[in-house]
């Protein structure tokens, strides 16, 4: 077990987002977090990452590797937990290479300067995210998709044991969406844990092995993809009629209108 919640209850002014959530994410698992807009997916990512954006219930707890979030120093926590938020506060005015290198701070052993391993890993993940030709460009000059790939590269340079990703595919074109999902699935195969907010059920079906469904007003459902991603569950989740087809052993879903009478 790397990340666990116990009776996690999250509220936003005037709205219950999550009630008594008990969730365990183990090494080598890839979780999809699904739900309608405003149901609390981002709030949950903040709570799991210890960002203190909301006040949890008194009996709620979140632990990383068996230790409460407050028992970790920020640097220790960053070696175990990496977070990709939807929005990044502020602007970074350096180059792409300098930006991605920031991911190595939790591992730095020197007060000044970087070790060879830091520079090597930074160059490797920049290449991995197809940013080598942009490494000397100012981050602020990149397109939205290029910047998103740089943000993912920074997280890869950080190399935590567990990845919390809030809409990692936003701004990415179709090919880069696929390559990003393959990349995180390879990390999972090597023992990392991944939990990601997704809006496309197809990516969850294809690449995730577990899912957490966050319903309106607090209820949640979690389990294996085969157990949880069923049409009746998803229709109740999204308030939307769905069609279903089977490709190989995978069930795929798509929105459809109700036939007129």
Tell me, letter by letter, the H, E, C secondary structure of 16-57: EEEEEEEEEECCCCEEEEEECCCCCHHHHHHHHCCCCCCCEC
Domain-embedded: residue 255: no
Domain-embedded: residue 152: yes
Among residues 160, 153, 157, the alpha carbon closest in space to that of 50 is found at: 160
Domain-embedded: residue 80: no
CA distances, 43 to each of 55, 158, 184, 235, 252 (Å): 10, 23, 22, 23, 28
Instruction: Please give the Cα distance from 261 to 161 (Å, whole number).
Output: 53
Domain-embedded: residue 217: no
- β-partners of residue 48 are none
pLDDT in the model for residue 15: 86
pLDDT in the model for residue 258: 64
Let me know how long the chain is: 261
pLDDT in the model for residue 260: 47
Domain-embedded: residue 207: no
pLDDT in tens, 169-208: 999 999 999 999 999 999 999 999 999 999 999 999 999 9
pLDDT in the model for residue 87: 83
Give one DSSP letter per residue of 193-247, joined into a string.
EEEEE-S-HHHHHHH-SEEEEE-TTB-EEEEEHHHH--HHHHHHHHTS-EEEEEE
Per-residue pLDDT of the chain (261 residues; tens, 9 = 90+): 789 999 999 988 778 898 899 999 999 999 999 999 999 999 999 999 988 644 555 677 899 999 998 899 999 999 999 999 998 777 888 999 999 999 999 998 766 678 899 999 999 999 999 999 999 999 999 999 999 999 999 999 999 999 999 999 999 999 999 999 999 999 999 999 999 999 999 999 999 999 999 999 889 999 999 999 999 999 999 999 999 888 877 888 989 876 544
**What 3-state class would DSSP assign to 149?**
helix
pTM beyond 0.85: yes
Instruction: Please give the Cα distance from 146 to 135 (Å, whole number).
Output: 11
Q: How many structural domains does the chain have?
A: 1
Helix axes 144-158, 174-189, angle to 10 degrees: 10
**What 3-state class would DSSP assign to 249?**
coil
State the residue range of the domain holding 131: 92-159
Domain-embedded: residue 63: no
Domain-embedded: residue 137: yes
Domain-embedded: residue 22: no
Contacts of 181 (CB under 8 A, 6+ apart): 169, 203, 206, 207
pLDDT in the model for residue 57: 54
């Amino acid at each position: 077990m790397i990340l666990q919640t116990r009776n996690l209850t999250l509220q936003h002014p005037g709205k219950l987002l999550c009630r008594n959530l008990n969730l365990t994410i183990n090494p080598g698992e890839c979780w999809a977090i699904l739900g309608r807009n405003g149901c609390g997916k981002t709030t949950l990512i903040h709570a799991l990452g210890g960002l203190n954006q909301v006040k949890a219930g008194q009996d709620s707890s979140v632990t990383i590797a068996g230790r409460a979030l407050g028992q970790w120093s920020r640097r220790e926590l960053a070696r175990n937990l990496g977070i990709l938020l939807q929005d990044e506060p502020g602007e970074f005015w350096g180059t792409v290479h300098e930006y991605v290198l920031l991911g190595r701070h939790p591992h730095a052993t020197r007060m000044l300067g970087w070790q060879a391993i830091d520079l090597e890993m930074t160059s490797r993940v920049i290449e991995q995210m197809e940013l080598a030709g942009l490494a000397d460009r100012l981050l602020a000059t990149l397109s939205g998709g290029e910047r998103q790939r740089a943000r993912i590269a920074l997280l890869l340079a950080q190399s935590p044991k567990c990845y919390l990703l809030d809409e990692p595919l936003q701004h990415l074109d179709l090919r880069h969406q696929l390559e990003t999902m393959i990349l995180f699935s390879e990390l999972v195969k090597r023992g990392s844990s991944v939990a990601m907010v997704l809006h496309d059920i197809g990516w969850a079906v294809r690449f995730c092995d577990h899912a957490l469904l966050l319903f309106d007003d607090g209820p949640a459902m979690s389990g294996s993809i085969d157990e949880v991603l069923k049409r009746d569950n998803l229709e109740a989740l999204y308030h939307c009629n769905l069609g279903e087809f089977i490709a190989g052993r995978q069930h795929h879903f798509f929105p459809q209108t109700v036939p007129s009478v």
